Amino acid sequence: MFTGISIHSVFVLDQEEALEFYVGKLGLEVADDVDLGFMRWLTVNVPGQPERRILLEVPGPPSQDDATAAQIRDLVTKGAMGVAAILTTDDCRATYDRLSARGVEFTEKPTEQPYGIDCALRDPFGNHIRIGQINAE
């Protein structure tokens, strides 16, 4: 049976801008950056955790035709694609402060929740990202 999830895909509209945000501001690291000819395979991961990656995928071939890619781009910019990722941290408030200082704009400040503390932001394209500090059980 399955043993895990290794790659999750997030639609971005510009991979260079995505790198500036996900690596430059959030502090993730590039895992793969490969020109496949028909597309650029670009993944990032939390430092030290290469077994779980996020594919920063531009809508279009080979997965979507031009009309479908245009619809996806429209949905991404509206923030209608749901949560792109939930990142975890040991200290949500300190992470919020550090990322705010790097220019990350949050849609929700750190808030006490039944499961811990979390906050929310959007990437430059409209994707929702949450950051959570989960209570130990």
User: Could you tell me the CATH number of the domain that includes residue 78?
Assistant: 3.10.180.10
Q: Is the peptide bond before 62 cis (omega within 30 degrees of 0)?
A: yes
Asked whether residue 2 is domain-assigned, the answer is: no
Per-residue confidence (pLDDT) for residue 137, from 0 to 100: 65
Task: Report the candidate in 56, 59, 57 with the shortest Cα–Cα distance to residue 45.
Answer: 56
Asked whether residue 75 is domain-assigned, the answer is: yes
Per-residue confidence (pLDDT) for residue 4, from 0 to 100: 85
b/e per residue 26-46 (b: at least 16 CB within 10 A): bebeebeeeeeeeeeebbbbb
Compute mean pLDDT per 10 residues along the chain, 137 residues long, and list them.
90 98 97 96 96 96 94 95 94 97 97 96 96 88
Task: Report the candidate in 15, 52, 20 with the shortest Cα–Cα distance to residue 35.
Answer: 15
Asked whether residue 122 is domain-assigned, the answer is: yes
Residue 127 is part of which domain span?
7-134
CA 115 – CA 19 distance, rounded (Å): 31
Task: Report the candidate in 119, 87, 91, 84 with the shortest Cα–Cα distance to residue 105.
Answer: 119
Asked whether residue 28 is domain-assigned, the answer is: yes
Asked whether residue 90 is domain-assigned, the answer is: yes
Per-residue confidence (pLDDT) for residue 20, from 0 to 100: 98
Count of structural domains within the chain: 1
Asked whether residue 1 is domain-assigned, the answer is: no
Per-residue confidence (pLDDT) for residue 115, from 0 to 100: 94
